[in-house]
Amino acid sequence: MEQQATQPRRVKTRHIILAVMCLMYFISYIDRVNIAVAGPIIRHEMGLTSGQLGLVFSAFAYPYAVMQIVGGWLADKYGPKRVLTVLSLIWGVATLATGFAGSVAMLVGLRFMLGVGEGGAFPTATRAFTYWMPVAERGFAQGITHSFARLGGAVTPPLVLAVVATGGWRDAFILLGIASLAWTVLYLCVFTNSPEQHRRITPQETAEIGYHVGDCDRAKHCATPWRKLMHRMWLVTVVDFCYGWLLWVYLTWLPSYLKESRGFDLKQLALFTALPLLAGVIGDTLGGTLSDKIFKMTGRLRFARCSVLVVGLGGSLAFLMPMVSTANPVTAVLFLSASFFFLEITNPVLWTLPLDIAGKYAGTAGGMMNTGFGIAGMVSPVVFGYLIETTGSYNVPFTISACLLAVGMVAALFINPLKTVDADEERDRTEAGSLGGIPAFLQAAPGLRLERHHLRRPLRWRK
């Protein structure tokens, strides 16, 4: 035990947990995107109309948006281990069962079930980092996990199509469902809600994290300060909506845009659809690492977070506009890739802000923030498609997306992660004072005696 205390481990326990969470982001994103890849084959086999296939696609988004706050709040109250275990079982079973679906209704129901499971997963994962990642590593943690999510999206087309070619689309869902359930077992074996509960943790690493014994248990008994959370998080939610609008465009309309507007054939689509997503993988990792690096160098947390947000959204805007006007298809793909690279720089910072601002309420705060992304998922693909149909061009919807990036960039300037919910609560306790809200100068007034008969009744003064 003494040797363990004096010799730090080469592989930190928090980094093992981070690796497990990276795997979760990777698998969950494949489970999310696989239906888009298998969609044309499912449509042909089941004889679905475009409207029916669209209903299957959209069934995921609605519970996904609703479960953001619900899942995060549950993680705050009952711990991320229990909540994420249940959620991963839900989406794992839903993915597995999709391989046995025989009707539109069953497909819609299972995609709805998948949205329930995955909707609360990312806020719960954010809450899991609260007691496992020190402030100076939170940006990197969020960046690397979300880069694995983008990597999952990038490898889904070749991965699913390879399984489809050998065994059919049903086998792809069955294998992915088994992989999701296997991850659940791994998570149960490795993760604990706090460092003090982990058998492998050392005192040195606990000190590095900045965790204090009992923090996790005390947090479970705290009432959720909904008003304070909304007051501190609404701007972050606005920025996340602006970010999510364009991300959903990439996830839903990119193949159609490259085929219909830029004239790429099916073989070229596999490559040119993957390029922007792979650029996003790099952007996610770089954004979180860069933010942490700036914080370590300057000690200015607000500058470290907001500067990366502004540069990311501004860079995405700067490359999106020339993409609309260029006539060369390959140049357009390069502009799209650069735009997505800068867009994804902002993602880890957005997910780090709930940790910075909300602390022990990071699950609920992360859900509030990602509700912006969920709403964008419900609105963006539909509006984008409507504008294409009415204008006959992709230029107008892409221009609107660029305008939203500008809105997000301006809003990011006013975010202040130094104004935390914990600080708000501490100020309230200080102002309340020993007499439950009576100002300190009145408490000290000579010759006055104050009696409080009930908190809701007015004070009675006596000379």
In a structure prediction context, what are the per-residue pLDDT tens digits for the chain, which is 463 residues long?
344 444 556 788 999 999 999 999 999 989 888 887 787 788 888 888 767 777 787 788 889 888 988 998 998 888 899 999 999 999 999 999 999 998 889 999 999 999 999 988 988 988 888 889 888 888 888 889 988 988 888 888 788 878 888 888 899 999 999 999 999 999 999 999 888 888 888 888 888 888 766 666 666 667 788 999 999 999 999 999 999 999 888 877 787 788 778 887 766 776 777 788 889 889 988 998 999 999 999 999 999 999 999 999 999 999 999 998 898 989 999 999 999 999 999 999 999 999 899 988 888 998 899 889 888 888 887 788 888 878 888 888 899 999 999 999 999 999 999 999 888 888 877 776 654 555 544 444 444 444 444 444 444 444 3
Alpha-carbon distance of 321 to 336, in angstroms, equals 10
Q: In whole angstroms, what separates CA 194 from the centre of its chain?
A: 21
Q: Are 117 and 88 in contact (CB under 8 A)?
A: yes
DSSP conformation class of 463: -
Instruction: Identify the three-state secondary structure at position 200.
Output: coil
Q: Are 134 and 209 in contact (CB under 8 A)?
A: yes
Alpha-carbon distance of 175 to 185, in angstroms, equals 16
Instruction: Identify the three-state secondary structure at position 430.
Output: helix
Q: In whole angstroms, what separates CA 5 from the centre of its chain?
A: 35
Q: What is the pLDDT of residue 156?
A: 84
CATH code of domain 224-424: 1.20.1250.20
Q: What is the pLDDT of residue 450?
A: 43
Kindly report the pTM of this predicted structure: 0.76
> Which token pair is 86?
């249940």
Q: Are 350 and 240 in contact (CB under 8 A)?
A: yes
> Which token pair is 422?
């914990």
Instruction: Identify the three-state secondary structure at position 449.
Output: strand
Short-list 203, 201, 148, 153, CA closest to 6? 203
Q: What is the pLDDT of residue 54?
A: 74
Q: Are 450 and 443 in contact (CB under 8 A)?
A: yes
Q: Give the angle 283-277-28 at the CA atoms, nearest 5°.
A: 95
Numbered ranges of CATH 1.20.1250.20 in the chain: 9-222, 224-424
Q: Are 305 and 352 in contact (CB under 8 A)?
A: yes
DSSP conformation class of 11: S
- Where do the H-state alpha helices sit in 120-168? 121-129, 138-167
Q: Are 364 and 72 in contact (CB under 8 A)?
A: yes
Alpha-carbon distance of 144 to 18, in angstroms, equals 9
Q: Are 63 and 119 in contact (CB under 8 A)?
A: yes
Q: What is the pLDDT of residue 50?
A: 66
Domain 9-222 top-level CATH class: mainly alpha
Alpha-carbon distance of 65 to 367, in angstroms, equals 9
> Which token pair is 114?
């998948």
Rounded to 10 degrees, what is the CA torsion of 118, 122, 125, 126?
-160
Q: What is the pLDDT of residue 220?
A: 64
